[in-house]
Structure 1
């Protein structure tokens, strides 16, 4: 697949448009652009038809950060993240003994796709995702207890895709959508 920068006359895909929207959200969250500028640029991104139109709407914005993996590790005890924290593109959680609680409902998610890798020994994980998130748990392996996740009957488009993978030994993973 060619990116809009490689062929500026090519028609945009929804993935190209979503990536641009996420870049605008990240720039606004980092206070690099004002609310008014965010609205104006967002309108241009949503109505852009070609790569060159998209590039002009994103001009002077910083390039997306390189994908890095952030690791949160604990031998024992709890791992907890909640509130307005910035979620990295790749997040690895390692815990030998202890519980994990990740609340993404008010977190700043600057990527259309977030990969969360769990490496848990004893203890479980409770993950709260945004109400409009799409959750993929196909690559998650539970050793002892079953996964508890019920996908909503309807998910509004535009939310992030959260891919959860890894291994959980003796614990349960519970995933739920925030109420709003």
Structure 2
């Protein structure tokens, strides 16, 4: 088994690539990029080997309005976001029954502060944040189980601040930092 140096760039998975292609297609459909720019960025995404190359292809897309709020809601079932998805400034997550999985480790985060507002009934939630993120959970209320979060021993400065607030009924929230 070969070991990967701790500071090496994270490799991409096919799911990350597919999410990036989807985001570029959406940007083209919305008229945010030209046909030529779509071709150029698709080539960059399809030939990318490490995550930072993927972020480079998506990162310069026109930014959303800084006060943009997105809501992900489900009465039951699973809510999941992972791969190369664009994180809005404010993300509201609402679920009566079911599990929530948010992975921000490979996401495009354009804002220095991201607010995640949870309104969860029953079911657990797991949030993976970038390695260099600062997490603030002061605004979160839990009814039944405690929050599971350990601040990393070694943190690198310069990452986004992720503020998690809201309320959780019967379920546990686990927050962890990505390994790479």
* Global fold match (TM > 0.5): yes
Gaps of 5+ in 1: 1-25, 33-61
* Cα 1:173–1:63 shift into 2, 3 Å: closer
Per-residue CA deviation, residues 19-67 of structure 1 (Å, 9 max, x unaligned), is: xxxxxxx9973546xxxxxxxxxxxxxxxxxxxxxxxxxxxxx787231
- Give the structure 2 partner of residue 152 of structure 1: 152
- Give the structure 1 partner of residue 58 of structure 2: 29
Distance 1:111 1:76 in 2: 30
Residue 90 in structure 1 maps to residue 94 in structure 2:
no
Gaps of 5+ in 2: 1-54
Q: TM-score, normalised to structure 1's length?
A: 0.66
Per-residue CA deviation, residues 118-152 of structure 1 (Å, 9 max, x unaligned), is: 00000010000000000000111110000000001
Residue 77 in structure 1 maps to residue 106 in structure 2:
no
Per-residue CA deviation, residues 81-123 of structure 1 (Å, 9 max, x unaligned), is: 0000000000000000000000000000000000000000000
SS in 2 for 1:121: strand
Q: TM-score, normalised to structure 2's length?
A: 0.66
**Structure 1 vs Structure 2 CA RMSD:** 1.8
Distance 1:63 1:72 in 2: 20
Structure 2 matches for 1:14-163, cutoff 5 A?
Answer: 29-31=58-60, 65-163=65-163
CA contact under 8 A between 2:124 and 2:171: conserved in structure 1? yes
Distance 1:82 1:177 in 2: 14
- Give the structure 1 partner of residue 30 of structure 2: none
* Cα 1:139–1:100 shift into 2, 3 Å: same
- Give the structure 1 partner of residue 173 of structure 2: 173
Aligned length: 126
Bigger radius of gyration among the two: 1
Distance 2:66 2:176 in 1: 29
